[in-house]
Amino acid sequence: MSVRPVLIFGASRGTGLALARLLRAGNVPVIAMLRSLEAGPELERRGVRVGLGDAFSRADVAAALKLLPPGGHVVSTLGGAATGGTRVDEAGNVNVIDAAAGMAGRFVLVTAIGCGEMAPFRSERAIAAFGAVVDAKTRAEEHLRRVIPSATILRPGGLHQEPATGRAVLSTDPEIHGFVTREDLAGLIAGVLGDPGTAGLAFAAVDAATARAPRPLAPFPLRTFPR
């Protein structure tokens, strides 16, 4: 697990919160920018440095980056919509990406299965249910690749709230589908931060026991994966 400080955007719930808990359990310094302080007390009890800000505000995002020591890492798990339909999946992530450009540490963006080169393999049902969200996340990925080519993209399958299984893997197969728990996904993110061999790559994140693909599963060999 990386011991460099990690700044998390999206740590108030879901995968971002699971990542903050995991990193702090390993004594990794964590900073979190939260839109509201609802999750603030728990994070602060765990030793997370909390800052209040909105990812739709470039000034707020820039202020959060100033809290990160040189060489620190950035992880964004941002997702959702704002009033008027503007999606933080794209606009918020673009603000984070732009603010982090030129930083010395790693950048990890969490999107979704079906993004990027996986788009042609989406089902009609998936397009109807999640098409707009996935398209917004894809545009954020494309911006990331232009601005921070060394960044790593993780595309989780359907997310479950159950405890970690230890079966989560990364795959570069564009046709793979599956599910993954948020805790397992947090473990994969931590592993990616500690593995420079993942720089510049995009992966699907799935449970190896339930993943579906036309080819045999060939997991990417992460150097570290906390279990």
Structural domains of the chain sorted by starting position, each given as residue range(s) with its CATH number in brackets: 6-207 (3.40.50.720)
Buried/exposed 45-75: b ≥16 CB within 10 Å, e otherwise: eeebebbebbbeeeebbeebbeebeeebbbb
Q: No. of H helices and E strands in the chain? A: 6, 10
What per-residue confidence (pLDDT) applies to 3? Answer: 75
Average pLDDT over residues 130-155: 93
- pLDDT confidence band for 186 (50 / 70 / 90): very high
Q: Which residues contact 42 (CB under 8 A, 6 or more apart)?
A: none
Contact 212, 177 (CB under 8 A): yes
Average pLDDT over residues 60-78: 96
Q: Which tens digit of pLDDT belongs to each residue from 202-218? A: 999 999 999 999 999 99
Please say whether the beta carbons of 150 and 101 come within 8 A: no
Look at the chain and count its residues: 227
Residue 24: alpha-carbon gap to chain centroid: 17
Measured from the Cβ of residue 132, the count of other Cβ atoms closer than 10 Å reads 14
| 78-90 pLDDT per residue, tens | 998 766 778 999 9
Give residue 227's pLDDT: 38
> What is the rounded average pLDDT for all residues in the chain?
92
204 beta partners = 155, 171
CA atoms of 152 and 145, how far apart (whole Å): 9
Cβ-proximal residues to 131 (8 Å cutoff; 6+ apart), any chain: 122
Strand partners, 197: none
Q: Structure pTM?
A: 0.94
Over 50: is that where the pLDDT of 161 sits? yes
- At 224, the pLDDT band (50, 70, 90 cuts) reads low
Output the CA–CA distances (angstroms, integers) from residue 145 to 18, 125, 184, in the order listed.
26, 28, 25
Q: To the nearest whole percent, how much of the chain has pLDDT over 90?
A: 82
Is pLDDT at 139 greater than 60 in this prediction?
A: yes
- Give the model's pLDDT for residue 82: 66
pLDDT greater than 80 at residue 117: yes
d(CA 127, CA 42): 36
Measured in degrees and rounded to the nearest 5, phi and psi for residue 212 equal: -125, 130
Task: Report whether 225 contacts 191 (CB < 8 A).
Answer: yes
35-50 per-position pLDDT tens digit = 988 889 999 999 999 9
Task: Give the pLDDT confidence of 12-38 residue by residue, as tens digits.
Answer: 999 999 999 999 999 999 999 999 888
Q: What is the mean pLDDT of residues 145-150?
A: 97
The pLDDT score that the predictor gives to residue 80 is 82
Supply 209's token pair. 């026991």
Q: Would the pLDDT of 1 be above 70?
A: no
